[in-house]
Structure 1
Amino acid sequence: MKKQVSLLLIFLIILPVFAQAKPIEETIRVAFIRDGYLWLKMNGEEKKITHVGSKYTYQPQWSHDGKWVAYQVESKKEVSGESENPTELWVYNVETKKHKRIAIEGYNPQWSPVENLLAFKIGGVLNISNLDRFYNIALGVGDFGWYPDGRSFIAASGASLRPDGWTNPVLFKIGLERNLDASTSLTKNVTKLFTIPSELKKGNVSLLAIDATRFLFSPDGKWISFIVSPTASWSMDSDFVCIISSDGQHFEVIDETNGEGVAKWAPHLNRLGYIAGGGRIVFGFKNKNMKVTELPAFTSINLTPKYFAELGFTWKADHSLIVSRVKETEWSNDPKKRPDPSLFLIKIGNQQQAKITNPPRDFGDYNPSYLSSINKITWLRIKDVAEIKRDLWIADTDGKNAKLWIKNIREYNFFEDSSNKKSP
């Protein structure tokens, strides 16, 4: 009898846990574009939150606390200025369900990593909005990124063409006043960080340095990765992945990439991952290798086996990555003759690389993304890379229990509660 009572008590204790349990993917918020509208997926439900069809020209951006979504939409009104296709900036509050326009002409919205301040560009002017009004911060800015403390920016001023040739691109650190209303100068808090040489070389590859973009800080905040590119048409073929110390004292060219190149840091170690190799895909599915560079030693390893090429990647942990991989193949104008990628799991130091997805014939798996808070991977499954409709899939990190998560999705972005992140 006592044993039966004990079992009943245990059952009653754990019953609420089971009753409250939800599918783990419901803990992730997704902002995405579908058929010209902005949607949210929260608590397992999809909801359309804009109701006028528009052209969204930038990935939606979550605020640091997941309460706001910033989105950039092509303006339906004529706006005076230099922009041929002006875009408006809006924010949406997921709690009040209210939309608010931040700027009638703005682009490249980036939230502060620590508070609800939104930085963005209007022409060459860097601005910040506290969601009530916006402030001009600096002039002549190309791309930019927040410092991890949310009190400064790293920003680039691109090279310009003069009668005697191109000038140099320059990196700056731009500080913020604690009280934005008290700011009286657009130059007071600007410090030159580094002047990029006009010509960069790595091995037998050299390029003219025109712009610096895609700034990302290392986990310890001591290093910044970015992409240096030449003129726009040349950039489609060849860019450089570069590194600079956060104090501007150490600059290195790491490797060549192409116009779609992006570098990503490991979650906790100063390891930079990137897909090396110049040349756009229309020149062939080749010369695209997954590489990792360790800092501050600046030692690099190639993780791609012979006769394969990588199209995208995500870090799973400090010692493992997931890549979208194809067999090396020449380009074909016939989509059916192009290789379709699958996802592979790479463990650094382990020669075995496991294939973890098997898309159906004529479908490929692209754009892997690891969600650490639920220890899952997502990716796009696409029949033709140029196809407008594409589906978001989700699975365990070994590819098991794969399922369609969101149908017919374009640009998208995740919000993860950092306090809920799990160790893989």
Structure 2
Amino acid sequence: MVKLIHMLVIFCFLFPTISNAAPTDSTVKVAYIKDGYLWINDKGLDKKVTDQKSNYPYPPQWSFDGKMLLYQKEVRATINESQGTENELWVYDLQTKKHRKIFYDGHDPKWSPTESIVAFQSDGVLNISDLTSFYNIALGVDDYEWQPNGKGFIASSSASLRPDGWTHPILYTISLKGGYQNISDLTKHVKKFLVIPKELKKNDVKIPSINAQSFAYSPNNKWISFIVSPTASFSMDSDMLCVISAEGKEFTVLDEVILEFQPKWSFKDSLLGYIAGGGRIVFGFKDKDLKVTELPAYHTLTLTPKNYADMGFTWVNDRSLIVSRVKETDWSNDPKKRPKPTLYFVTLDSQKQIQITIPSKDQGDYNPQFLPSINKITWVRQIDIASTKGDLWVAELNGENAQIWIQDIGPYSFYPSK
């Protein structure tokens, strides 16, 4: 009885207000793919915004002000006299209800954080589209991210294989202070930022450094996290999470990770959450530990209990997270025998870990995402980790008032998401 009272006190402290989960009066909009079409859910109403059934392989992206949607459409095309596919980039204007194709074959598009322009890549060239024309920005780019002020990029070039071995991957800063429309020399506004060592090591694990990707800035913009990967097949099993100070003076390898689970910064403090551990999931649901590292102290907490593995997480605030968790289990080729995750609420200060969802035995809870604007947790409940769609759920932070928001949803995104 004492333990039960203690747990109730914890919940009252962590969740001081409880209200009905009501997506119908929500200020959050959801853009999503379903049945081969792009949809928008706004105030509980679903609207199909594309008329042509197609393959939309990536989540749609909201512009910084929520007035436009960027989406990618895979189409059949003749390339060098043979049949292949192209990745068209489109923008949908919610006010005019008009669609506009901004490029015929691009990848990795990203909205500016401050204005309605889109950066994207094509054949190693970084470009910017103002939704009418596009402009070349830099050459030889492997991956990139907008700087938080929208005035430039952090970018990488991959290592190259030469007769004497691999070169180094290199990080660059790319400035747009002179304007992106008037760049005549694609090198003058580019500055070398970091030459990554040819090999990275953490504990007993070493990898060759080939690519640098998944850049993310800390809330105070003083740190940049990114992932260094080896060659393509090896990158499925072992990569290195790194951080570098924004001025480029301090570089550190934090931990071994896999690309499937992306690190995430907390809302205000320089706290980096990530799921540590190598080995692709088909080798087993094992050695996947949720960790939080505080910078610049480099103090790390491991939050996953023994005999469990974590499959995804979201920050709730700077002292608590919600994680999708399973018991450690070997991989099975039978989807019914694979473990089904549930959601747990985890705190940094007391390391209390409370299960907040109970799916049926044949479903699991994946991809938790906290929405600060409505103070609720969302997730996808689906049959298996390999499923491409499921039901989007929403609930209070303690799991109460859980209900389905959208059924049979594919890739999706929220506005606002922060």
TM-score, scaled to structure 1: 0.91
Corresponding residue of 2:376: 376
Write out aligned runs for 1:52-131 (5 A).
52-79=52-79, 84-131=84-131
Deviation, 1:388, is 3.5
Instruction: Measure the CA separation in 2 of the matches of 1:25 and 1:155.
Output: 40
Q: In structure 2, how many angstroms separate the alpha carbons of the residues matched to 1:25 and 1:106?
A: 37
Which structure has more relative contact order (CA 8 Å, sep 6+)? It is 2
Q: Which has the larger radius of gyration?
A: 1
Give the distance between the partners of 2:366 and 2:212, measured in 1 at CA. 26
Amino acid at match of 2:104: I
Q: Which residue of 2 aligns with 1:16?
A: none
Letter matched to residue 276 of structure 1: A
Determine if contact 2:389/2:411 at 8 Å carries over to the other structure. no
Q: Provide the TM-score with structure 2 as the length reference.
A: 0.92
After TM superposition, the structure 1 stretch with the greater mean CA deviation from structure 2, 327-336 or 83-92, is 83-92
Paired residue type of 2:158: G
Where structure 2 has 5 or more consecutive residues not aligned to the other structure, the ranges are: 1-21
Instruction: Map 1:234-273 onto structure 2 (within 5 A).
Output: 234-273=234-273
Output the amino acid matched with 2:405. Answer: W
Alpha-carbon contact 2:369-2:377 (below 8 Å) kept: yes
Shift of residue 283, structure 1, vs aligned partner: 1.1
User: C-alpha displacement at 1:25, in angstroms?
Assistant: 5.5
The secondary structure found in structure 2 opposite 1:325 is: strand
- Show the counterpart of 1:336: 336
> Aligned pair 1:275/2:275, yes or no?
yes
Aligned match of 1:143? 143
The amino acid of 1:89's aligned partner reads: L
Mapping 1:4-403, distance limit 5 Å: 26-79=26-79, 84-403=84-403
User: In structure 1, what residue type is equivalent to 2:166?
Assistant: W
Q: What amino acid is aligned across from residue 55 of structure 1 in structure 2?
A: N
**Contact 1:239–1:256 (8 Å) recurs in 2:** yes
CA RMSD of aligned residues (A): 1.6
Displacement of 1:33 in angstroms is 0.7
8 Å CA contact 2:147, 2:154 repeated in 1: yes
> Match for 1:28: what amino acid?
V
Matches of 1:182 and 1:389, distance apart in 2: 43
Distance in structure 2 (CA, Å) of the matches to 1:113 and 1:343? 31
8 Å Cα contact 1:74/1:88 also seen in 2:
yes
Q: CA deviation at 1:83?
A: 11
Contact 2:261–2:311, Cα closer than 8 Å, also in 1: no
Paired with 2:417 and 2:206, the residues of 1 have a C-alpha distance of: 42
Determine the C-alpha separation between the residues in 2 that align with 1:335 and 1:291.
28
**Offset, 1:84:** 4.7
Q: What is the aligned residue count?
A: 397
The 8 Å contact of residues 79 and 105 in structure 1, kept in 2 or not, is answered as no
For 1:359, the aligned partner's letter is P
Q: Distance in 2 between matches of 1:368 and 1:25?
A: 21
Amino acid at match of 2:241: V
Displacement of 1:213: 0.8
C-alpha deviation, 1:58, in angstroms:
2.0
Q: Secondary structure at the match of 1:336?
A: helix
Deviates more, 1:195-204 or 1:175-184: 175-184
| Counterparts in 2 of 1:213 and 1:25: CA distance versus 1, 3 Å | farther
Q: What's the secondary structure of 1:182's corresponding residue? A: coil
Q: Structure 2 CA distance, aligned partners of 1:326 and 1:34?
A: 28
User: Among the aligned pairs, what percent are the same residue?
Assistant: 54
Unaligned runs of 5+ in 1: 1-21, 419-424
Cα 1:417–1:302, aligned 2, differ >3 Å: closer, same or farther?
closer
Kept after mapping to 2: 8 A contact 1:286/1:328: yes
Alignment map for 1:408-419 (pairs within 5 Å): 408-416=408-416
Q: Secondary structure at the match of 1:180?
A: coil
CA offset at residue 182 of structure 1?
2.4
Aligned with 2:193: secondary structure?
A: strand
